[in-house]
Amino acid sequence: MLKTSDLSIEKINNLLQDADDFSKGKVLKAKDEVYVANLFFEDSTRTKTSFDVAERKLGLKVVPFDISVSSVNKGESLYDTVKTLKSLGIDLCVIRHKKEKFYDEFKGIDIAVINGGDGTGNHPSQNILDLMTIQQEFGKFEGLKIGIVGDVKHSRVANSNAEVLRKLGAKVYFSGPEQWFDEGTIINGTYVSIDDLVKEVDVLMLLRIQHERHENDEKMKLSAEKYHRQFGLTKEREKTMKKNAIIMHPAPINRGVEIADELVECKRSRIFKQMENGVFARMAILKTALEERGFEFM
Ligand code: ASP
Ligand code: CP
């Protein structure tokens, strides 16, 4: 489970079905002992914690691994860290790392790896929980209009969601500061001004500005107020949205920047629903990844 674009539509649908079953109370436990470790080289609240909860719900043995007190700090490479965990009996690692396609290094290691986010690349478990949330709302993807707004250039959520949503028949539009739409940033991306976009879409997906990825790029820096006024979901813009349109955001949220504080928990917001779905989507992902390696659940 490295990028959602590797998955067939059938496999995506199977994951969504499993996630839906788990959300409705289906209980499955690993038949044998399965050891898993969550390695987060970048900060996380939702992904790390929801994988942890999902693993425990599936009866997996979660082995604590804290990067900040590990031998990574003595210069051990990512490859050696993962190979070491394999030698110690870990069957599956969930990894988040700032390096795009970090998983290419593990080709020779016989271990299951789930990508918890690779730099600006992909965020497959976020994609599945987002698809789950959209499906719960509309029951389909075909023909839906999805607007993705903000720092699309640096957001692994924007890029990976756009790809899979298009594959499933949705129409994807983008908005935000134009310097984040350099040629080639978004394959076949259609840019629409924020005021036009909010009126048109069924799903408005807002993004956090990825400040941690802007270090060497001064021109990307905008004040919070200016960003909110020009590109954020203000209370005024929200009033122009379609009756049944929903608001999504992968979070963490910078309230008052990409979205007005009062809208984070408004009626059309599904932001906390996305988080709730995250546990079930990750249970489905773990189950599938482990079944592919011959582990059984009952
Ligand atoms: N949490 C998401 C990610 O890790 C989105 C974000 O951080 O803005 O990509
Ligand atoms: N949405 C998401 O990936 O959140 P975290 O960065 O807190 O894991």
Best CA proximity match to 18, nearest among 36, 1, 40: 1
Per residue in 59-97, pLDDT (tens digit) is: 999 999 999 999 999 999 999 999 999 999 999 999 999
Taking the alpha carbons at both ends of the chain, their separation in whole angstroms is 22
Per residue in 251-298, pLDDT (tens digit) is: 999 999 999 999 999 999 999 999 999 999 999 999 999 999 999 999
For the CA of 152, the nearest ligand: 1
The pLDDT score that the predictor gives to residue 213 is: 87
Q: Is the pTM of this model over 0.85?
A: yes
Spacing, Cα 125 to ligand 2 middle (Å): 10
Spacing, Cα 51 to ligand 2 middle (Å): 11
User: What are the structure tokens assigned to 103, written together?
Assistant: 């998983």
| pLDDT cut 70: percent of the chain above it | 95
Distance in angstroms (rounded) separating the CA atoms of residues 222 and 179:
11
Most informative mutation of 38, 40, 46 for ligand 2 (most atoms within 8 A of CB): 46
Please give the CATH number for the structural domain made up of 124-270. Answer: 3.40.50.1370
For the CA of 50, the nearest ligand: 2
For the CA of 272, the nearest ligand: 2
> Is the separation of the CB atoms in 4 and 128 below 8 Å?
yes
The pLDDT score that the predictor gives to residue 189 is: 67
Per residue in 233-243, pLDDT (tens digit) is: 999 999 999 99
Nearby residues of 207 by Cβ (< 8 Å), 6 or more positions away: 148, 149, 150, 151, 152, 155, 157, 158, 176, 249, 250, 258
Please report which confidence band the pLDDT of residue 180 belongs to, taking 50, 70 and 90 as the band edges. Answer: confident
Please report which confidence band the pLDDT of residue 217 belongs to, taking 50, 70 and 90 as the band edges. Answer: low
Q: How large is the average pLDDT for residues 135-156? A: 95
Distance in angstroms (rounded) separating the CA atoms of residues 149 and 41:
26
User: What are the structure tokens assigned to 151, written together?
Assistant: 């720092």
| pLDDT averaged over every residue in the chain | 94
Spacing, Cα 87 to ligand 1 middle (Å): 31
Best CA proximity match to 148, nearest among 194, 179, 114: 194
Spacing, Cα 153 to ligand 1 middle (Å): 13
| Fold: same for 4-121+276-291 and 124-270 | yes
Name residue, tokens 């470790």.
37
Q: What is the CA radius of gyration of the chain?
A: 19
* Angle at CA of residue 113, ends 101 and 119, nearest 5°: 30
Best CA proximity match to 251, nearest among 238, 265, 241, 240: 265
> Where do the structural domains in the chain lie, given as residue ranges?
4-121+276-291, 124-270
Q: What are phi and psi of 147, to 5 degrees?
A: -110, 125
Q: Is 157 in the pocket of ligand 1 (CB under 6 A)?
A: yes
Q: Is 156 in the pocket of ligand 1 (CB under 6 A)?
A: yes
Please report which confidence band the pLDDT of residue 1 belongs to, taking 50, 70 and 90 as the band edges. Answer: confident
Atom of ligand 2 minimally distant from the CA of 43: 6
The pLDDT score that the predictor gives to residue 88 is: 98
Atom of ligand 2 minimally distant from the CA of 47: 8
Q: Does domain 4-121+276-291 have CATH number 3.40.50.720?
A: no
Is 29's pLDDT higher than 90?
yes
Distance in angstroms (rounded) separating the CA atoms of residues 136 and 158:
20
The DSSP code for 94 is E
Best CA proximity match to 30, nearest among 61, 63, 62, 58: 58
Question: Could you count the other beta carbons within 10 Å of the beta carbon of residue 216?
Answer: 6
Spacing, Cα 45 to ligand 2 middle (Å): 6
The pLDDT score that the predictor gives to residue 179 is: 79
